[in-house]
Amino acid sequence: MRLSSKIYWDLLATLAGILYTLAFAPFDYPYLALIALALLFASWQNATPLQALYRGYLFGLTAFGLGVSWVYVSIHDFGGADVLSSGLLTVVFVAFWAMFPALAAYLSAKISLINPRFSTLVIVPIVWVLIEYLRGYLILNGFPWLQVAYSQLETPLAGYIPVLGVYGAGFLLALSATLLLSIVQIKKHRGFIIALLLSVWLTGAGLKTINWTTAIGEPIRVSLIQGNVSQDQKWRPENLLITLNFYKTMTEAHWDSKVIVWPETAIPAYLSEVQDWFIVPLSQAAQEHGSDLIVSLPLRGEGVHERYNAVMTLGKDIATYRKTHLLPFGEYLPWQPVSGFILDSLGLVLGDFTPGAIDQALLKAGDYAFITSICYEDVFGSATVKNLTEAAYLVNVTNDGWFGYSIEPQQHLQMARMRALETGRYLLRATNTGVTAIVAPDGQVIKQAPPFLATVLTGEIMPMAGITPYARIGDGMVVVLLALWLCVLIYHRFALKK
């Protein structure tokens, strides 16, 4: 097989997709992401726009086909759809998101940006990151799964996370891939390119030694309850009292903790249905013992169809947070009425929630305010840094029980860890079935509960103060600067042709 043969480069792009997925949790081979992107970018070189698009699509099909295979588990095992329908919806899901690396490939080849000249090495990484932002933030309320920076929590590039966030670190990894590719392919300026590559990684290693935030006050003893309530039993009316009694009993055994956290919708009933006989006495008991509870349950609004996925604090401070960033096809249906018709035809019944207000006040527990996220809200860095100056720690409540023994819970924890690193705050993450964990400000897991076990994870955190550089600039500034840089480079390239 000749090096220049089309099928060779097609297979190389496919292989890159496999290696790319292995860089993420639970496989955790982070340096494979660098190799995967280098191979992928190599397959785009000297290709026509359509050839590059095809190879980008092959990469996407492989990466998402392996990396988000848990979609099938959610639809079939817990959504109740048959094998054929579940498989079809999973294929459609993968095929849709695979279009984004294909788009990055097409744009790169279309404007002839891929070449071995050092002056254009940054263009492909910029295009890659801008397409990641398009996928991760703008389309369908955002789907940032398998964004390349999430694989780098254990590498020197993690040092850039508190400074530049996911998109800045992702750009530097993609830049490293183009530099690595140039070192292999060309001799001109090789020494300079090697020095640049080393400087990127050595600077990241140096940044990892910096503490951007400081501890304030005394340690806070916390307990996170992992209920392990089976998803197919959770909402059955006959199980309500059993579930509530379980959480109440586990809570009473840990009144020595200052903050006790329950997972997402641990209370499988609307607030109005349990407030008088369960919530009020529980809150009074918490206050008597000097503890604060963070519980989760759905709320009804004033409108007939107004429902919220919410978190509520009980004890000294009683307040609620209503989820703002809803999950498409899980908590609301985009592309109506088409999506509703298709799901009705397949017999799938999904949630229909209302997003909460953007400007909600922070909740408070353990005498400190904290930033709340529900379920996959913790995969959006821009939402976590809002009002960070007022918050001493982060709390995420999640129900990953929809995904069984798949790789999704580990991937989700990996993404949640990034929020702790970006903000320089401890993260309390309480889940129904796992992975429940306490995460340090450097993104490292301090304690972790075994999955699919009813248990309580207890530990201590420090309230933190201070702001990381990323918290000041956010994703928007990084993306805008990259976009402007791309425009300048494109203008310069075409100006040279005149």
Tokens of 364: 């408070």
Q: Which amino acid is at 164?
A: L
Q: Which is the catalytic residue, given 264, 377, 408, 422?
A: 264
Share of the chain above pLDDT 90, in %: 72
DSSP output for 420-488: HHHHT--EEEEESSS--EEE-TTS-EEEEPPSS--EEEEEEE--EE---HHHHHHHHHHHHHHHHHHHH
Say whether 487 is catalytic: no
pLDDT of amino acid 326: 80
pLDDT, position 141: 82
The predicted structure's pLDDT at residue 188: 79
pLDDT tens digits for range 35-80: 999 999 999 988 889 999 999 999 999 999 999 999 999 888 877 8
Determine which of 20-29, 139-148, 259-268 has the lowest per-residue pLDDT on average: 139-148
Q: Give the start-to-end residue ranges of the domains of the chain.
A: 6-211+474-497, 215-467
Q: Tokens for 156?
A: 């020197």
Residue 39: C-alpha distances to residues 9, 29, 66 (Å)? 9, 16, 18
- How far apart are alpha carbons 375 and 394 in whole angstroms? 13
CA distances from 396 to 110, 156, 343, 355 (A): 42, 26, 29, 17
**What's the rounded mean pLDDT across residues 290-315?**
92
Q: Which pTM was predicted?
A: 0.92
| Residue-averaged pLDDT of the chain | 90
Q: What is the CA radius of gyration of the chain?
A: 24
Half-sphere exposure of 118 (CA within 13 A, CB side): 13
Residue of 158, 155, 129 lying closest to 144 (CA atoms): 129
Arithmetic mean of pLDDT, 494-498: 59
Q: Is the pLDDT assigned to residue 116 strictly greater than 60?
A: no
Is 124 a residue whose pLDDT tops 70? Answer: yes
Cα–Cα distances in angstroms (integers) from residue 167 to residues 221, 243, 278, 426, in the given order:
34, 41, 44, 22
Output phi, psi for 5, to 5 deg: -65, 145
Q: How many CB atoms lie within 10 A of CB 344?
A: 11
455/128 Cα distance (integer angstroms): 42
pLDDT tens digits, one per residue of 314-352: 999 999 999 997 877 666 666 555 444 454 554 544 557
Tell me how far apart the alpha carbons of residues 332 and 256 are, in angstroms, rounded to a whole number.
39
CATH code, 215-467 = 3.60.110.10
423 band by pLDDT with thresholds 50, 70 and 90? very high
List CB contacts of 485: < 8 A, sequence separation 6 or more: 122, 126
The more confidently predicted of residues 259 and 142 is 259
Q: Of 420, 300, 434, 298, nearest to 371 (Cα)?
A: 420
| pLDDT, position 231 | 81
pLDDT on residue 496: 57
Weakest-pLDDT range from 47-56, 273-282, 332-341, 411-420: 332-341
Mean pLDDT in residue range 74-87: 87
Rounded to the nearest angstrom, the gap between the alpha carbon of residue 76 and the centroid of all alpha carbons in its chain is 23
Selecting among 323, 331, 377, 422, the annotated active-site residue is 323
| Pairing between β-strand 214-215 and β-strand 464-465 as defined by DSSP bridges | antiparallel
- For residue 310, is pLDDT > 50? yes
Element (H, E) at 395: strand 393-398
Where b means 16+ CB within 10 Å and e means fewer, 268-282 reads bbebebbeeebbeeb
Sheet holding 455-461, edge to edge: 319-322, 307-314, 292-300, 259-261, 220-226, 455-461
- 17 or 122, which is more confident? 17
Q: Which of 132, 258, 331, 375 is labelled catalytic?
A: 375
Rounded Cα–Cα distance for residues 376 and 359 (Å): 19
The residue to which tokens 């079935």 are assigned: 433
pLDDT for the residue 128: 97
Contact assessment for residue 13 and residue 51, using Cβ atoms and an 8 Å cutoff = no
Strand partners for 371: 394
The set of residues, in sequence order, having a beta carbon less than 8 Å from that of 137 and lying 6+ positions away, is 144, 380, 382, 475
Active site residue 323: yes
Q: What is the pLDDT of residue 2?
A: 47
Residue 28 has pLDDT above 90, yes or no: yes
Count of CB atoms situated within 10 Å of the CB of 18: 16
Residue 117 has pLDDT above 90, yes or no: no
Active site annotation includes 187: no
pLDDT band at 382 (very low <50, low <70, confident <90, very high): confident
Rounded Cα–Cα distance for residues 498 and 491 (Å): 11
pLDDT at 1: 38
pLDDT computed for residue 341 by the predictor: 46
Preceding amide of 435 cis, omega within 30: yes
Residue from 189, 187, 149 nearest 166 by CA: 149
Which amino acid is it at 431?
T
Higher pLDDT, 411 or 404: 411
pLDDT at 373 over 70: yes
pLDDT computed for residue 390 by the predictor: 95
DSSP 8-state symbol, 332: B
